[in-house]
Chains A and B, each alone.
Chain A
Amino acid sequence: MALGFFSRLKAGLSRSTQKLGGGIAAVFTRRKLDDAALEELEDLLIAADLGPNVAARVIESFRSSRFGTEVTDEEIRTALAAEIARVLEPVAVPFVPDPQHRPHVALVVGVNGNGKTTTIGKMARFYGEQGLKVMMVAGDTFRAAAVEQLQVWGDRVGAPVIAGPPNADAAGLAFDALKRARAEGADLLLIDTAGRLHNKGALMEELAKIIRVMRKFDETAPHSVLLVLDATTGQNAIEQVRVFKELVNVTGLIVTKLDGSARGGIVVALADTFGLPVHAVGVGEQAEDLRPFSAEAFANGLVGPSIRLSSPDGDEKKDGEGDPA
């Protein structure tokens, strides 16, 4: 996995950064970093979904330190990536199940269609391979065939899936599953939930209920609440995180679909605003397509083909073989 995956990530990232990187090259090759140049750079960041405000602030700190100097394309890229990595560094925190909890309960939440179920399948595979006993709960009792979807994942990665009857109450199911996982000595319990838009009060209350009911069995549960975010999401991600965090106390983020052309620049704004850990990124639809979140790789991905990414060894190993979560 480590071998194939880095080249895949690299390919994905360079694909998705071609345009931005090309843009920087066009703008900055042997040029003065003047007002016009900074404005164009700001535009490039906006086009990567950093949002107009964060983009403006990144450019402001650039302006103060480098305004007027002659810069090359490469210098700009490196400095800009470093600036962004600085914001991301504190949130690059792996997801490590706490062995004291048996099981460590992770509730996986988010808006519709962003990759929750797929991410759970990927995580089950990864932590299973690490030797943990992982169980999954088909807590999306609403969407058509959502239970069957997770069951296919269970077969794929060889982890048991706990499911209830159709339209079962998700909270009751989570409670039963937690009891069973405890009895069977599971290390990690991954609870899938139905997608819900954060502005739907009743559905958000349902999530809060899942937590309340589980706490009747284990008052420390859930030990993690993972919010899944789709990298194609624009500025609305900020509101998503704000509301989910406020109502169900999100402990960390996982960003999916980074293998596409979306660059996920909103993560920079999220890191800046909330400082929530970003545990992992999804880079494909297969079980092995989960990567650790690396501030440096992500920042490099945002600003263009990077020195690090194209260097033959060293960091490749570091980025590639870390815990995906």
Chain B
Amino acid sequence: MFAQWRDIFWGERPLFEALSGKLSGVFDGLAKRGALSEADVAEAMREVRLAMLDADVALPVVKDFVTKVRERAVGHEVLDSISPGQAVAKIVNDALIDALGGAGAVPLNLNAVPPVPILMVGLQGSGKTTTSGKIALRLATRERKKVLLASLDTQRPAAQLQLQQLAERAGVPSLPIVPGQTPVEIARRAMDTGRREGFDVVILDTAGRLSIDEALMNEVREIRAETSPAETLLVVDAMTGQDAVNTARAFNEAVGVTGVVMTRMDGDARGGAALSMRAVTGAPIKLTGSGEKLDALEEFHPERVAGRILGLGDIAGLVEKAADTLDHEESEKIALKMMQGKFDLDDYAAQIRQIAKMGSLSGILDMLPGMGKVKQALGDKDLDTSVLKRHQAIISSMTRAERKTPAIIKASRKKRIAAGSGSTVQDVNRLLKQFDDMSTMMKRINKLGMKGLMRQGMSALMPKGPKPPGGRPFG
């Protein structure tokens, strides 16, 4: 199923090419070469601005970014070998990766006298407690640190118990719960315990607080003054909208943010808050949360988030996952056949084998924008790998001729195949229908070409399913 995506996206510089595909529409009919004019760039910048706003990058940050990129782009000499669209796309993409913090991931700073305090702050429900558990697990297992988890959350019901349970799951000690203590008292006790019992790191999980809540912001100031954390991590939900700037500013002013953690990157939000956070605090995004389990903590990859913000999906992530598990040669062969319209059931079976190797198909679909709809269109059942296994069984009960030319499979052949594979005629029909759908999808890809695909997104490939709930006209 994804070899074609891979083929489409997996260029030398996939993001750059995808983006230029998107922006090149703007430059259709502009065949000229030479320096980019202000007018050329202005049009492209409108697209970029919209894409970024749709991705929830905060408006002042968008404006700043667009201004800078415009300056860089105007007057830029377009080489003969590339189009103006590609030239601007490259400038935008580079600038965005740059603004997100460049290529390298910034590790947690543990350079302090142990026990090294790490202070976790953020709004309510952003993922502080879960992330505390994740960081503890990571430091304990990967860096063999002796980590103490301490919950200073006296606000949310059962918050301390939550951290205690997470600590148990992570196999890391947590500070015993003493009811009635204030957060500052707990912080003090945590550091004392850390010193006395020889801990390397003490993670201080705090209650969620609103940026405008003066009392609670003062409290966290006090905690900071008491413990002098080596890292003060602002935990932010990737779904955050324009308010990201207010949150970033308030926490940065109150406690001096040294790093940002973006949680719920496993969702399909485009994650523009990452750029807002980075722009306002100047602090690097150090980690991302990609699930509820304690091992779902990852390094931050600016180039992937750049792709998400521009609406191109986590293509790099997809490619990386695919690269880890795919048999490249086979995929390339299949992709080529698809493009030539020669895809048959043998190739489908080969793809199923590859998909099985990659594990969850939905996990892969989740990485692409607009794929929610694709998943629904396919129906949950078809994402179930047991269905793929059944398909495999059915295909292996076919003759070579049937696999090469599925059109010859009529009633009696269906019965034989069903019996041979321990399935029903309906199962066989379903498989043939799905194969048919895939072939149709591939024909669409061929017809649309790269440019059309980028402009219309993946949804252009989908069979016309039930329409999404229609918008009532505004007013």
Contacts and interface: CB of A to CB of B under 8 A. Distances in A.
Interface of A: 15-16, 43, 46-49, 51-52, 54, 57-58, 61, 83, 86-87, 111-115, 142-146, 148-149, 151-153, 156, 197-202, 205, 230, 232-237, 239, 242-243, 245-247, 257, 259-263, 265-266, 272-275, 285
Given A242-B469, A272-B472, A274-B469, 11 more contacts: A49-B241, A58-B474, A86-B475, A113-B124, A113-B125, A146-B162, A197-B264, A232-B241, A234-B56, A236-B56, A261-B211
A205 B384 CA distance: 12
A153 B186 CA distance: 24
A261 B240 contact: no
Given A115-B125, A236-B270, A273-B469, A46 B158 contact: no
Given A61-B474, A143-B292, A235-B54, A111 B124 contact: no
A239 B362 contact: no
7 contacts: A113-B126, A146-B158, A200-B366, A234-B239, A260-B212, A260-B243, A285-B124
Contacts of A235: 54-56, 241, 269-270
B54 A51 contact: yes
A260 B210 contact: yes
Contacts of A43: 59
B241 A199 contact: no
B210 A144 contact: no
Interface string B343-356: 00000000000000
B449 interface: no
Given A52-B50, A113-B237, A274-B469, A149 B242 contact: no
Contact of B169 (A144, A151, A232): A144
Contacts of B242: 46-49, 234, 262, 265
Interface stretch (B66-74, B375-383, B396-404, B433-441): B375-383
A234 B475 contact: no
B376 A61 contact: no
Contacts of B474: 54, 57-58, 61, 87, 272
Contacts of B124: 113, 115, 257, 285
Contacts of B125: 112-115, 230, 257
Nearest to B127: A113
Most buried by B among A43, A54, A142, A201: A201
Given A57-B474, A83-B475, A235-B241, A15 B127 contact: no
Contacts of B243: 49, 232, 260-263
Contact of B165 (A15, A83, A144, A156): A144
B137 to A, nearest CB: 13
B238 to A, nearest CB: 8
Given A87-B475, A285-B156, A262 B241 contact: yes
A234 B157 contact: no
Interface of B: 50, 53-56, 58-60, 123-127, 155-159, 161-166, 169, 210-212, 237, 239-243, 246-247, 250, 264, 266-270, 272-273, 292, 362, 366, 371-372, 375-376, 380, 383, 468-469, 471-472, 474-475
B372 A145 contact: no
Nearest to B211: A261
Contact of A144 (B157, B162, B366, B375): B162
Contacts of A272: 471-472, 474
Contacts of A259: 210
B162 A236 contact: no
A204 B282 CA distance: 37
Contacts of A245: 469
Given A46-B59, A266-B241, A243 B372 contact: yes
Given A234-B239, A242-B468, A260 B211 contact: yes
B162 A234 contact: no
A275 B470 CA distance: 10
A145 B162 contact: yes
Contacts of B273: 234
A199 B59 contact: no
A266 B243 CA distance: 12
A21 B169 CA distance: 48
A132 to B, nearest CB: 22
Closest 8 CB pairs of A and B: A234-B241, A113-B125, A234-B56, A152-B157, A262-B243, A145-B162, A236-B269, A144-B165
Contacts of B250: 261
Contacts of B264: 111-112, 197
Residue of A51, A114, A205, A261 ringed by the most chain B CB atoms within 10 A: A261
Contacts of A242: 468-469
A197 B267 contact: yes
B292 A47 contact: no
Given A145-B165, A236-B56, A199 B372 contact: yes
Given A242-B469, A272-B472, A261 B241 contact: no
Contacts of A148: 157-158, 161
B469 A236 contact: no
Contacts of A285: 124, 155-156
Of listed B165, B264, B269, residue having the most chain A CB within 10 A: B269
Contacts of A83: 475
Contacts of A52: 50, 53-54
B268 A236 contact: yes
B292 A142 contact: yes
Contacts of A243: 372, 376
A51 B53 contact: yes
A261 B210 contact: yes
Contacts of A153: 157
Given A149-B157, A149-B162, A46 B53 contact: yes
Given A113-B126, A235-B241, A236-B270, A198 B372 contact: yes
Contacts of A260: 123, 210-212, 243
A199 B165 contact: no
Nearest to B366: A199
B471 A273 contact: yes
Contact of B240 (A205, A232, A246): A232
Nearest to A234: B241
Contacts of A230: 125, 237, 239
Nearest to A263: B243
A61 B155 CA distance: 45
A319 B372 CA distance: 38
Contacts of B58: 47
A58 B127 CA distance: 34
A153 to B, nearest CB: 6
Nearest to A262: B243
A155 to B, nearest CB: 9
B210 A236 contact: no
Contact of A152 (B55, B59, B158, B371): B158
